[in-house]
Amino acid sequence: MAHRVHNFGAGPAALPLPALARAREELLDWGGTGMSVLEHSHRGDAYEAMHHDTLLRLRRLAGLPDTHEILLLQGGASMQFATVPMNLLRPGEAADYVVHGAWGDKALAEAKLVGDARLAGKHPTCAATVRDEDLALTPGAAYVHYTTNETIHGAQYHQVPDAKGAPLVADMSSDIFSRPFDHARHALTYAGAQKNLGPSGLVVVFVDKGLLARARTDIPQILRYQTHAKSASLYNTIPTFAVYLLREVCVWLEERGGVAAMGAENDRKQRALYAALDEHPGAYELPVERDARSWMNVVFRLRGDGAEARFLAEAARRELVGLRGHRSVGGVRASIYNAVSEASVARLCELVRDFARG
Ligand SMILES: *Cc1c(COP(=O)(O)O)cnc(C)c1O
């Protein structure tokens, strides 16, 4: 058995051990082909079968109806910050962006370079999501973009914002498949893979076929959603190994009971960790408002000089790693994605209690 620590890193993040073990087992000889999956042509039967099985599993896990297409793209979620407006925003149209953290901000900044992208609502401190009544939406907007979970600030939408009938676009990079979610109610959802799905670089997109049919075609071929839809995401050489690992993560998710079972487990994890932190208000400060607390990224600060450094040192001693907050906000952040087990969270709760008691 390899030595494994408790990884609370924000991304690239912990992957399910069975997925990694399977990859190791099969690395030199994939499915009796005498070659690694890394060495197979993306046009060959073996790869194509695995690729289509991945798409099928993603559809099952998402509960995605036929109204939506699945795309596997490159460039991470940041590439989508650019390609969403390039495909969906036309001259003379406006797109609305709801911002409650760093990623929403970046998405808006990119969209502004493409067209008339407007800030439709912002949380001043990123300590919560933006309430529906605080949204200033543009009538007839091409779409409304929001971030389901702000990975850095630790605030998450627990219900879908009311876009007043405009197509909804959601960046779900850090909470996709963490609990049941109505993808079909969204025109487009996307997620960089390295938090809950697999290796970095790959991004999964679910897009409404009607919207796809109207997407712009006056942009470079490689950036068009239609290009990738027409070729089942095999237009050019896809990162084949990333797709392979994505499939293994999907297999693992389905074996565990899918997104509903994951949601129940993630709920237990977040309840346990927030409860431990709430027990010691003298030691820990939680900046995010209660009703927006993220199930995936639990952000907190330690009170007292030098306490944070001592906490992180004790965490490291117990092999709890990846807990330092994002460089832009500081503090501590425990990312408890799907692949972070209840046992790992229990170890962190233990540390939270032990440290507060001194
Ligand atoms: C990590 C993250 C991104 C950026 O992903 P890249 O793959 O590095 O481009 C964007 N949005 C959210 C919500 C994220 O968590």
User: Which CATH number do you get for residue 310?
Assistant: 3.90.1150.10
Provide, rounded to the nearest whole percent, the portion of the chain with pLDDT above 90: 98
Q: Is residue 9 part of a domain?
A: no
Which residues are registered as beta bridge partners of 335? Answer: 297
- Number of structural domains found in the chain: 2
Q: Ligand 1, residues 84, 99, 103, 202: which to mutate, most atoms within 8 A of Cβ?
A: 103
Q: What pLDDT sits at residue 286?
A: 97
Residues 214 and 140 in one domain: yes
Name the pTM for this structure: 0.98
Cβ of 129 less than 6 Å from ligand 1:
no
The catalytic position among 30, 96, 175, 195 is 195
Cβ of 147 less than 6 Å from ligand 1:
yes
How does residue 1 score in pLDDT terms, banded at 50, 70 and 90?
A: confident
Residue type, 104: G
Q: Is residue 139 part of a domain?
A: yes
Q: Is residue 4 part of a domain?
A: no
Residues 216 and 351 in one domain: no
Residues 218 and 184 in one domain: yes
Q: Is residue 62 part of a domain?
A: yes
Residues 274 and 130 in one domain: no
* Closest ligand 1 atom to Cα of 193: 7
Q: What pLDDT sits at residue 344?
A: 98
Cβ of 322 less than 6 Å from ligand 1:
no
Mean model confidence pLDDT for the chain: 97
pLDDT digits (tens, 9 = 90+) for 316-342: 999 999 999 998 888 999 999 999 999
How does residue 313 score in pLDDT terms, banded at 50, 70 and 90?
A: very high
Residue 285 has pLDDT above 80, yes or no: yes
Alpha carbon 159 to chain centroid, angstroms:
16
Residues contacting 8, CB < 8 A, separation 6+: 14, 320, 321, 322, 323, 333, 334, 335, 336, 340, 344, 348
> Whose CA is closest to atom 12 on ligand 1?
173
3-state secondary structure the chain: CCCCCEECCCCCCCCCHHHHHHHHHHCCCCCCCCCCHHHCCCCCHHHHHHHHHHHHHHHHHHCCCCCEEEEEEECHHHHHHHHHHHHHCCCCCEEEEEECCHHHHHHHHHHHHHCEEEEEEECCCCCCCCCHHHCCCCCCCCCEEEECEECCCCEECCCCCCCCCCCEEEECCCCCCCCCCCHHHCCEEEEECCCCCCCCCEEEEEEEHHHHHCCCCCCCHHHCHHHHHHCCCCCCCCCHHHHHHHHHHHHHHHHCCHHHHHHHHHHHHHHHHHHHHHCCCCCEECCCCHHHECCCEEEEEECCCCHHHHHHHHHHHCCEECCECCCCCCCEEEECCCCCCHHHHHHHHHHHHHHHHC
Residues 214 and 293 in one domain: no
Q: Is residue 6 part of a domain?
A: no
Residue 121 has pLDDT above 80, yes or no: yes
CA distance 171 to 79: 12
> Whose CA is closest to atom 8 on ligand 1?
76
Residues 197 and 297 in one domain: no
Residue 66 has pLDDT above 90, yes or no: yes
Residues 72 and 185 in one domain: yes
Is the distance from CB of 169 to CB of 84 less than 8 angstroms?
yes
Is the distance from CB of 266 to CB of 336 less than 8 angstroms?
yes
CA distance 147 to 126: 12
Give the pLDDT mean for 299-321: 97
Domain end among 227, 255, 283: 255
* Closest ligand 1 atom to Cα of 152: 15
| Residue 295 among the catalytic residues | no
Provide, rounded to the nearest whole percent, the portion of the chain with pLDDT above 70: 100
Q: Is residue 10 part of a domain?
A: no
Q: Is residue 232 part of a domain?
A: yes
Residues 67 and 132 in one domain: yes
Give the pLDDT mean for 152-159: 97
Give me ligand 1 centre to Cα 257, in Å: 26
pLDDT digits (tens, 9 = 90+) for 253-263: 999 999 999 99
Range of the domain at 332: 258-357
Domain end among 203, 226, 255: 255
CATH number (domain holding residue 210): 3.40.640.10
pLDDT digits (tens, 9 = 90+) for 191-242: 999 999 999 999 999 999 999 999 999 999 999 999 999 999 999 999 999 9
Domain end among 237, 255, 273: 255
Alpha carbon 177 to chain centroid, angstroms:
8
Residues 200 and 273 in one domain: no
Place of tokens 């994505």: 246
Give the pLDDT mean for 17-27: 97
Q: What pLDDT sits at residue 358?
A: 85
| Residue 209 among the catalytic residues | no
Q: Ligand 1, residues 151, 177, 295: which to mutate, most atoms within 8 A of Cβ?
A: 151
Residues 166 and 66 in one domain: yes
Q: What pLDDT sits at residue 328?
A: 87
Residues 249 and 265 in one domain: no
Residue 41 has pLDDT above 90, yes or no: yes
Residues 286 and 236 in one domain: no
Q: Is residue 5 part of a domain?
A: no
Cβ of 11 less than 6 Å from ligand 1:
yes
- Residue 273's closest CA among 299, 252, 255, 291? 299
Give me ligand 1 centre to Cα 173, in Å: 6
Q: Ligand 1, residues 72, 74, 78: which to mutate, most atoms within 8 A of Cβ?
A: 78
Residue 279 has pLDDT above 80, yes or no: yes
> Whose CA is closest to atom 4 on ligand 1?
77
How does residue 294 score in pLDDT terms, banded at 50, 70 and 90?
A: very high
